[in-house]
Amino acid sequence: MPQITRDEVRHLADLARIDLDDAELDRLAPQLEGILDAIASISAVAAEDVPATSHPVPLSNVYREDVVAASLAPEEALSGAPQVEQQRFEVPRILGDEQ
Amino acid sequence: MSDLTRLTAHQQAELLATGEVSSVELTRAHLDRIAAVDGAVHAFLHVDEHGAIEAARAADDRLSKGEPASPLDGVPIAVKDVIVTRGLPSTAGSRILEGWVPPYDATVTERLRAGGLPILGKTNMDEFAMGSSTEHSAYGPTHNPWDLDRIPGGSGGGSAAAVAAFEAPLAIGTDTGGSIRQPGAVTGTVGVKPTYGAVSRYGLIALANSLDQAGPVTRTVLDAALLHELIGGHDPRDSTSLTDPVPALVEAVRAGAAGDLSGLRVGVVKELGGEGFQPGVEARFAESVELLRDAGAEVVEVSCPHFEHALAAYYLILPSEASSNLARFDAMRYGLRVTPEGDPSAEDVMRATRDAGFGDEVKRRIILGTYALSSGYYDAYYGQAQKIRTLVQRDFDAAFAEVDVLVSPTSPTTAFPLGDKLSDPISMYRQDIATIPANLAGVPGISVPSGVADEDGLPVGLQVLAPQRADDRLYRVGAAVEALLEERWGGPMLAQAPELEVAR
């Protein structure tokens, strides 16, 4: 039986860069445990020698000719940005307190 | 002119070709219908009256010169909000993309525009296509036109409801685990998930790249074929796009509509029935199987033993892919940005934005995916799920060595009441039990209406699955079933739906 504790959910949310408050943790943690219970059954189904499939249609590398094609103008690329400065994406400081 | 919106897309195209109706009239009729019923149905997140009429004018211009851009030139369409549309909001049902207007068109959108189809608007969906009821939309649920207190299926409930409520003759859906087929089943409409890679994913906001596939949402099998031929085919901008030519789908419909399936071998999947399947669903399915036999098909039972693990494998693979895909919503380049008090770092902004911008189901799946991909759990979960994917593909291979197509009910139940499964994610996930194997294996599937369940009078769908690249078989069988059932009913399935109240 897999275990996923409230603390683990908090840690995973942190890895996924989502702030979860206590009320959300109270709600999501037991649901995640339930989901995990329901899907854990598969952990012993496939034998060692079964190959993994990551993609439904087998593909080898796909190449294209290296030719110039139309692309977005800078204004278009920046059109959805929360903040723009001198034709660039403006972002908050990137170093955290601990760095 | 009688109500244009009741005509099939093909009939509408015929009227346009003869000049009896203009595209502006036709498009206006659908916009009026949206205004009249969408307050109750809520199939649309955004309606583009101006753009649709402009496109209709251009279509009329081409049609009057006898130079249609495609067989559907001038026939309006609705597009699921997960497909990006230049100049039209595209939210994927999420707060995190509220108000975002993409600077480019998806390949599907480009092909619709090039084919001359006026885009009526963008349809509602579960947030990032995560759900089976459209209740996980950040903008409120869509209501099933058969019973407004019930779900229209999901994630593409908006597209299916729009077509079922005669708000659009055609719509685009996307199917990652059943999001075209299950809404089709519960709204009495037709939905096709093409072979993986048959329709470009460029500009489709990704949920799970190895499973996602766009396809037609319509009222008839012929309309689906016309739309599939228009949007299908190779796209160099999607490296997973198939290079094969699009099969002759309209031709397959014409062959099937004669109702003769002699020589066709049909497999009934033993594992997709029984426990968890509603009696009325099973009864309509049994009748459909009889119908196939009467039409000359040879019907046998086949076993796909690993399908019972498909759901679990899917709910590991999908969250894993989704958790990495949704990392792009980082509040830096587009979409919502929530800035906490003080002097927050970029990471603080990301955390706050993703908390505010994502709904519960999205958070659940991101966390689940993050867990499944963590070191220590990777082999037991994600690794195993990928192996099961291989076993599901082998089940299909073995089955298709014996038969030409497989059949099952599309959805285990009819439309359930809104709110019924919201607090129980697992029971929501079970809605996809019959549709998920096709996505894991990349094979194509169709859902066609097969009647209403005796216990609740709500639509039931028949699912037909074919081998990869044999999408034409879906159309042949789907058209035969449709023709034979309509003959029995004395008209299309949607004629049995109650009339919606019209707002004035």
**Cβ B345–A96 below 8 Å, yes or no?**
yes
B155 is catalytic: yes
Query: Tell me, what amino acid is at B12?
Result: Q
Q: Hey, what amino acid is at B21? A: V
- Residue of chain A with shortest Cα separation from B358: A18
* Mean pLDDT (chain B, rounded): 97
pTM of the model: 0.97
Distance (Å) from the C-alpha of residue A37 to the closest C-alpha of chain B?
Answer: 10
Q: Phi/psi class of residue B178: alpha, beta or left (left: φ > 0; alpha: ψ in -120 to 50)? A: left
* Contact at CB, A55 and B386, closer than 8 angstroms: no
User: Residue B375's pLDDT band (boundaries 50, 70, 90)?
Assistant: confident
**pLDDT above 60: residue B227:** yes
Q: Do the bridges between strand B445-452 and strand B190-193 make them parallel or antiparallel, or are there none, so unpaired? A: antiparallel
- Are the Cβ atoms of B312 and A31 closer than 8 angstroms? no
Share of chain B above pLDDT 90, in %: 97
Taking Cα atoms as reference points, which of B135, B41, B83, B93 lies closest to residue B431?
B135
Among the listed residues B293, B295, B292, B285, the one whose alpha carbon sits nearest the alpha carbon of residue B452 = B285
Q: Which DSSP state fits B232?
A: B
DSSP B273-334: SSTTS-HHHHHHHHHHHHHHHHTT-EEEEE--GGGGGHHHHHHHHHHHHHHHHGGG--SSSS
Helix (H, G, I), strand (E, B) or coil at B196: coil
**Is there a contact between B312 and A42 if contact means CB atoms under 8 Å apart?**
yes
Q: Which CATH number fits domain B8-307+390-496: 3.90.1300.10, 3.30.365.10, 3.40.920.10, 3.90.180.10?
A: 3.90.1300.10
pLDDT of res. B200: 98
Q: Which of B307, B331, B268 lies closest to B436 in space, CA to CA?
A: B307
pLDDT tens digits along A11-37: 999 999 999 999 999 999 999 999 998
Cα separation of B477 and B180, whole Å?
18
Inform me whether the pLDDT recorded for B125 exceeds 70: yes
Query: What integer is the mean pLDDT of B17-35?
Result: 98
Contact B312 A20 (CB under 8 A): no
Greatest CA span in chain B, whole angstroms? 73
Closest chain A residue to the Cα of B350, Cα to Cα: A17
Asked if A54 and B386 come within 8 Å (Cβ–Cβ), the reply is: yes
- Predicted pLDDT of residue B361: 96
What's the whole-number mean pLDDT along residues B393-421? Answer: 98
What pLDDT tens digit does each residue of chain A (99 aa) get? 467 889 999 999 999 999 999 999 999 999 999 999 888 888 778 888 999 999 999 888 888 889 998 899 999 999 999 999 999 999 999 887 665
CB-based contact B317:B286 (threshold 8 Å): no
pLDDT on residue A44: 78
- The residue of A19, A25, A84 whose CB has the most chain B CBs within 10 angstroms, and thus the best one to mutate to test that interface, is A19
Say if residue B1's pLDDT is above 60.
no
* B398 pLDDT tier (thresholds 50, 70, 90): very high
pLDDT digits (tens, 9 = 90+) for B166-186: 999 999 999 999 999 999 999
Return the sign of the alpha-carbon dihedral for residues B354, B433, B393, B188: negative
CA B121 to chain CA mean position, Å: 16
Q: In chain A, what residues touch B239 (CB-CB under 8 Å)? A: 59, 62
User: A9: part of which helix (H) or strand (E)?
Assistant: helix A6-15
What confidence score (pLDDT) does residue A4 get? 83
Name the active-site residue from B179, B408, B411, B450.
B179
Residue ranges with strand state E in B65-115:
77-80
The packing angle between helices B9-18 and B221-231, to 10°, is 70
Residues A83, B366: C-beta atoms closer than 8 Å:
no
pLDDT bracket for residue B503 (50, 70, 90):
confident
- Name which of B312, B331, B385 is nearest A38 (Cβ-Cβ): B312
Per-domain residue ranges of chain A: 1-45
Which residue of chain A has the CA closest to B443? A56
Query: Do the Cβ atoms of A17 and B330 come within 8 Å?
Result: yes
CA distance A61 to chain B (A): 9
Half-sphere exposure of B26 (CA within 13 A, CB side): 34
- Listed by start position, the domains of chain B span 8-307+390-496
How far apart (Å, rounded) are the C-alpha atoms in residues B432 and B335? Answer: 30
Please report the pLDDT score of residue B384 as a whole number: 94
Residue-wise pLDDT for B154-165, tens only, equals 999 999 999 999
Question: How far is CA B424 from its chain centroid?
Answer: 23
Q: Which residues of B touch A3 (CB under 8 A)?
A: none
> Catalytic: B22?
no
Per-residue tokens: A47: 């034998």
Q: Which of B132, B155, B408, B411 is catalytic?
A: B155
Asked whether the beta carbons of B216 and B80 are under 8 A apart, the reply is no
Pick from A28, A57, A82: which is nearest to B363 by CB?
A: A28
Nearest CB to B309; choose among A8, A42, A83 = A42
* Residue B94 near residue B128 (C-beta atoms within 8 A): yes
Q: Spell out which residues of chain B touch residue A38, defining contact as CB-CB under 8 Å.
A: 312, 315, 426, 429
For B263, half-sphere exposure in the C-beta direction (CA atoms, 13 angstrom radius) is 4
Structure tokens at B136: 């996980």
Q: Contacts of residue B379 in chain A, CB cutoff 8 Å?
A: none
Residue-wise pLDDT tens digits, B74-87: 999 999 999 999 99
Q: What is the mean pLDDT of residues B435-439?
A: 98
The shortest CB-CB distance from B367 to any of A16, A45, A55 is to A16
Cβ neighbours of B313 in A, within 8 Å? 42
CATH 3.40.50.720 applies to domain A1-45: no
Q: What is the tens place of the pLDDT at every residue in B274-331?
A: 999 999 999 999 999 999 999 999 999 999 999 999 999 999 999 999 999 999 999 9
Give the pLDDT score at B131: 96
Of the partner residues B103, B337, B351, the one whose CB lies closest to the CB of residue A19: B351
B324 assigned to active site: no
How do residues B234-254 score in pLDDT, each as one tens digit? 999 999 999 999 999 999 999
The alpha-carbon gap from A93 to the nearest alpha carbon of chain B, in Å, equals: 5
CA B201 to CA B198: how far, in whole Å? 9
